[in-house]
Chains A and B, each alone.
Chain A
Amino acid sequence: MKLLRVDMGRLEVRWEPVSPVFEQLGGRALIAKLLLEEIPPTCDVLGPHNKLIFTPGLLAGGGVTTAGRLSVGGKSPLTGGVKEANGGGTAGDTLAKLGFKAIVVEGQAQRGEWYVLHVTGDSASLLPAGDLMGLGTYATSDRLQERYGADSTVISIGQAGEYLMYGASIAITGDRDQRSNHAARGGLGAVMGSKGLKAIVIDKPLGKSIPLADADLFRTASRTFAQKLINDPKLGTQGSQHLYGTASIVGAVNEIGALPTENFSRGSFEPATELRGEHLRELVLEREGKVGTRCMPGCVIACRNLYVDDDGKPIVGTLQYETIALMGANLGLNSLDDVARLNYMCNDFGLDTIETGAALGVALEAGLAKFGDTESIFALLKQVGEGTIIGRVLGNGVVTTGRVLGIRRIPAALGQAMPGYDPRSLKGNGVTYATSPQGADHTAGNAFGARKEVNPLGVQGQRELSLKLQIIAAMLDATGLCLFARPPVIADPQLMVDMINGIYGWGWTKEDLDRFNRQVLRTELEFNRRAGITAADYRIPEYMREEPLAPHNAIFDVPDSDLDSVFETL
């Protein structure tokens, strides 16, 4: 495999063989190690010493279902620590098939100069991007696909990344209707903007495949893995995830009182029925949109949708739970159409819907508009794309918005907005938010649905549950697998070992895999320690420890001693 270094200061690209240090790493694991080895941990996140890394997971390119996610990493503008955000689309598989371990973007272009990186199998070049400036991610990818082919993959930033907003995401194109997938969290779009890189175009890897060390072992394990996903009651063709998408959980999260409502002031939203996955499915089918679509070719879960308006015109290439929570209930909006339109705007500007939904919630609490006032909320979000002062405040995320507007109730941990589970009613997620080196990020260890293990409202057992989930999440993110692929690999880790050995022939055991997963977290924690992040930076905000959350009047009362000892047994 090879590593492509892109020096934006010198406008040079160079190929390197993969160093032995990085050889057995991919995705989140590679990002953590590369950041620790190569960047000063205290560097300016938007300066020349930060690096932006694009890397497929270890299982990418071989046709393993759900394993084609692209990991993007760097030092996070929001958390000031290590960040890995991943997204679907065709980039992960494409890079793996072309033999890439990673693309590492270094240095930065002269201020005001912007470039597109065009990558083929054996060449790469930086080209001026002047004509793309000011365009959103949809228009950018359309224009580049017209130029380089409809089957090429485009990774791009929108206006938010150009403005170096800390809430900026990175968009990745996918097959056909799935035009917009986002590596959304942590503000990595701003890092891409700081480099002067508007987009990356990767040619389709025609006739390419990854070499297999043991094809029989690999094929047997990957087929079994796919079949187990299909047979899973959550994920198969009759499972809620497939039928209703990630929005399938709206009703349940609302019922247990953990649905962020009106800037995390309540845990349930009376009109939540209008936001449920069941309603979404009815609407989409009635309007001749699509359900059960995929963000990655070959995914057997197929949890996405093509959300369309009354006239059957596509609004957004999937409407997901987190967006519905943060831009629906959290803003007092009960219309999926409104949430879908806000989602489209975020996708186009290149914004994380979680960070932006939380920032808007704080802005509404500050009185910039009323909760549920659709038109005013649209007007606020529009300003992000226009780059007005208020737009720049919102686009820089929930902490900046709270500080500027004098709001103390800021739902964030380690500088990053909380996703769609209030930690007071789902304390396992609170422990993850308050300890993960990734900051408040549900994909780092989501305790929702952990039935028969731990009472979500209780304190007992949350520490152990979160650690277990964080170790599994590290594995998924390092291999390119979707979060939803958890059940078969938890039940049978040997499957994962066989797939890895089938590709690389490393002779790993289950114990090796476990060590690998834990090492990802250790490396990330070490980076954050060197970056100057302390236990106090990770904490859940004080108001969530004191302000009871209706309907259960729950507070986040997991003691600091539990939080501080989560990784004792790592």
Chain B
Amino acid sequence: MTLERPMNVQEVAIFLGLDPDEIGLISINGIQSELDDSVPPGCRLCFFPPMSGG
């Protein structure tokens, strides 16, 4: 997707219609990230639901 302006993860989530409170893990290019991290150009951004290892 193309962003019209620089955004952080939370803004992208809202843009996609995701509730930030319902997001568990976030990764940017495979690095675990947080909602206030900025989203760099050309990156792979992944949202995962809340989860725990087992």
Task: Point out residues on A near B: beta carbons under 8 Å.
Answer: 232-234, 239-241, 246, 248-249, 251-253, 255-257, 268, 303, 320-322, 421, 442-443, 446-449, 451-452, 455-457, 483-484, 486-487, 551-552
Contact = CB atoms under 8 A, between A and B. Distances in A.
Nearest to B21: A233
Nearest to B44: A255
A488 to B, nearest CB: 12
A446 B49 contact: no
A249 B30 CA distance: 14
Interface in B2-43: 22, 24-27, 30-32, 34
B27 A448 contact: no
A98 B13 CA distance: 53
Contacts, number: 86
Interface of B: 22, 24-27, 30-32, 34, 46, 48-54
Given A233-B22, A234-B24, A255-B46, A449 B30 contact: no
A320 B24 CA distance: 20
A249 B32 CA distance: 14
Nearest to A251: B48
Given A252-B48, A451-B24, A446 B54 contact: yes
Q: Is the interface of A mostly helix, strand, loop or mixed?
A: loop
Given A233-B22, A256-B27, A456 B32 contact: yes
A552 B31 CA distance: 8
Contacts of B46: 251-252, 255
A257 B54 contact: no
B52 A484 contact: yes
A457 B27 CA distance: 12
Given A234-B24, A255-B27, A255-B46, A451 B32 contact: yes
Contacts of B30: 255-257, 268, 551-552
Nearest to B53: A448
29 contacts: A232-B50, A233-B50, A234-B52, A239-B49, A240-B50, A241-B54, A251-B46, A252-B25, A252-B27, A252-B46, A255-B27, A255-B46, A256-B31, A257-B30, A268-B30, A322-B54, A421-B53, A442-B54, A446-B54, A447-B53, A449-B24, A449-B50, A449-B51, A449-B53, A451-B32, A456-B32, A457-B32, A483-B54, A484-B52
A457 B29 CA distance: 13
B46 to A, nearest CB: 5
Given A249-B54, A251-B48, A451-B26, 7 more contacts: A249-B51, A252-B25, A256-B31, A257-B30, A446-B52, A446-B53, A552-B31
Contacts of B52: 234, 241, 249, 446, 448-449, 484, 486-487
Contacts of B54: 241, 246, 249, 303, 320-322, 442-443, 446, 483-484
A491 to B, nearest CB: 13
A182 to B, nearest CB: 14
Contact of B32 (A321, A442, A455): A455
B16 to A, nearest CB: 17
Contacts of B31: 256, 457, 552
A442 B52 CA distance: 12
A252 B51 contact: yes
Contacts of A483: 54
Nearest to A232: B50
Name the residue in A322, A443, A449 with the highest tally of chain B Cβ atoms < 10 Å from its Cβ: A449
